[in-house]
Amino acid sequence: MNLTTENILLVGSLLLFISIIVGKTSYKFGVPTLILFLAIGMLAGSDGIAGIRFNDPKLAQFIGIVSLNFILFSGGLDTNFKAVKPILKEGLMLSTLGVLLTAVTLGTFVWCVTGLTVYESMLLGSIVSSTDAAAVFSILRSKNLALKSNLRPTLELESGSNDPMAYVLTLAFLTLVIHQDQNLWSIIPLFFQQMIFGAVAGFAFGKLSKLIINKIELGFEGLYPVLVIALMFITFSATDFVGGNGFLAIYICAVYLGNQDLIHKGTILKMFDGIAWLMQIVLFLTLGLLVFPSQIIPYMGIGLLISMFLIIVARPISVFLSLMFFKMKLRRRFYISWVGLRGAVPIVFATYPLLAGIDKANVIFNIVFFISVTSVLIQGTTLSILAKWLHVALPEKVKPIAQNDRYILNLPKSEMEEITISPDSFAIDKRIVDLHFPSSAFIVMIKRNNKYVRPVGATVIKANDTLVVLLDNENSLNEVQNVLA
């Protein structure tokens, strides 16, 4: 079947519908939804039942980059900086040194067991060197897996922030494969340029985005998520234009925004959560359509060997060396080693050699695809089991609620107070979003002139307003009164 303008919406919507329905029941059998999405794409592809002919790496790469923008941005918005701050150093070491060590260790092994050159082997190692944000976010959240001692923030920080490092290494070794006259030292300036420009641009665009979101008056609540989408793509493309790492920039920008008071923040978070799921499905379906299963079969043996080395040797070595200067129990290091899932990101990165037209591009792509599939199958299906074995999982009854969930869920509080705003209060003529209300309190209603006003971030507090506030406990009342004093 050829995809045309007339049938692409029908085919796409049917595949999306099937993916959602199948994904809903997949965990009853212990199969990660991402593998189901990928399998559906493969069954619909050229070698599958539907026979949809799709062989466009450039389009697949574009879809992959757009999808990763949403996935990383959504993950950044959900990152609680207070939870991440205690393990910030560990997370950054894993996402930089850990990725480099994985790439070098695996690349060396690939060079020893295959006919690839040194630089081609390092290119393959770089492509699969990072844990996949889509896979980690999806599996941890869909399993509702709660972990002890900041393990979950560590894993989510690593997976959300290590794609930029893998991207830089992929571009660097691809350059060395194409330009044989260059040496390894020539790529070092590229690394520092990408990472420094990306970090600075991400923080700068984060502050600018907050200012725009809170100051602009759009009039319609539904336009604010659209505004954030525009700011997200501006951040990525502008950073990439000046030579920085766009993936790093949007993740930092999103982490900053996710920890600020924003107008209609709940709406923005809900929308990005839904679109992130949509992008994961679209991404895996597209990559499933792109691959030819018949071409993977000859590489299954070497692919399994490389994949097992990555899981059992390369990943643990990189984790233990990266964390050697930090105090952490051995079983927690083992668990971090195991949660090194490879998913869609390596497959997207593997399209770069295809588009560059290097000799072994198809070999690299097929091996990378096999590694990603086996990683999600082997590691993704055993995360809960291993967490219990290693005693790093929290019991069901003490699972914590994420900080940003208060913007999404109507959580019950233990106290309710009515607070009248005095004429000399600091809060008068200020918007709720500018008051920086404590996370332990929530304004549910405002009584004004014998009428009730539904509060949103842009609502301006007036003298003699009566705020109906839900509180976590009595201590929260003191925090609220300090804000309103």
- 10 Å CB burial of residue 160 (0-12, 13-18, 19+) is buried
pTM score > 0.85 for this model? no
Which range, of 162-171, 217-226, 329-338, 377-386, averages the lowest pLDDT? 377-386
- Residue 406: predicted pLDDT: 44
pLDDT-derived band at 47, boundaries 50, 70, 90: low
Q: Name the DSSP class of 431.
A: B
Mean pLDDT over 333-350 rounds to: 86
* pLDDT score of 268 more than 60: yes
Of all residues in the chain, what percent carry a pLDDT higher than 90? 25
Structure tokens at 210: 């907050």
Dmax (CA) of the chain:
80
pLDDT-derived band at 253, boundaries 50, 70, 90: very high
Structure tokens at 9: 């919406």
- 265-290 and 8-26 helices, crossing angle to 10°: 100
Alpha-carbon gap, residue 472 to 412, rounded angstroms: 8
pLDDT-derived band at 395, boundaries 50, 70, 90: low
- Residue 127: predicted pLDDT: 93
- Over the stretch 102-150, which tens digit does the pLDDT of each residue have? 999 999 999 999 889 999 999 999 999 988 766 676 666 655 566 776 7
* pLDDT score of 407 more than 60: no
Measured from the Cβ of residue 193, the count of other Cβ atoms closer than 10 Å reads 15
pLDDT-derived band at 7, boundaries 50, 70, 90: low
Which residue stretches of 162-245 are H helix?
Answer: 163-178, 188-215, 223-241
- Over the stretch 49-77, which tens digit does the pLDDT of each residue have? 766 777 788 888 898 899 989 988 988 88
Q: Which domains does the chain have, with CATH numbers?
A: 8-398 (1.20.1530.20), 411-484 (3.30.70.1450)
* pLDDT score of 404 more than 60: no
- Residue 29: predicted pLDDT: 47
- Residue 286: predicted pLDDT: 83
For residue 418, what are the CA distances in angstroms to 386, 464, 466? 48, 12, 6
- Residue 188: predicted pLDDT: 83
* pLDDT score of 3 more than 80: no
pLDDT-derived band at 405, boundaries 50, 70, 90: very low
Alpha-carbon gap, residue 277 to 330, rounded angstroms: 34
* pLDDT score of 410 more than 60: no
Mean pLDDT over 465-473 rounds to: 79
Which one has a higher pLDDT value, 79 or 34? Answer: 79
Length of the chain: 485
Residue 65: alpha-carbon gap to chain centroid: 13
Alpha-carbon gap, residue 281 to 287, rounded angstroms: 10
pLDDT-derived band at 26, boundaries 50, 70, 90: low
- Residue 403: predicted pLDDT: 47
- Residue 25: predicted pLDDT: 57
> Quick one: residue 216, left, alpha or beta (phi over 0 = left, psi -120 to 50 = alpha)?
beta
For strands 415-420 and 441-448, give the pairing. Answer: unpaired
For residue 86, what are the CA distances in angstroms to 52, 373, 482? 49, 33, 27
Of all residues in the chain, what percent carry a pLDDT higher than 70? 87
- Residue 411: predicted pLDDT: 47
* pLDDT score of 174 more than 70: yes
* pLDDT score of 227 more than 90: yes
* pLDDT score of 424 more than 90: no
Averaged pLDDT of the chain:
82
- Over the stretch 287-323, which tens digit does the pLDDT of each residue have? 888 888 888 888 889 999 999 999 999 999 999 999 9
- Over the stretch 145-173, which tens digit does the pLDDT of each residue have? 667 767 878 887 888 788 888 999 999 89
Which one has a higher pLDDT value, 224 or 42? Answer: 224
- Residue 200: predicted pLDDT: 95
> Quick one: residue 150, left, alpha or beta (phi over 0 = left, psi -120 to 50 = alpha)?
left
Mean pLDDT over 401-410 rounds to: 45
Q: Name the DSSP class of 219.
A: S
Which range, of 73-87, 130-144, 259-273, averages the lowest pLDDT? 130-144
Where b means 16+ CB within 10 Å and e means fewer, 128-148 reads bbbbbbbbbbbbbbeeebbbb
Alpha-carbon gap, residue 345 to 72, rounded angstroms: 11
Alpha-carbon gap, residue 9 to 360, rounded angstroms: 35
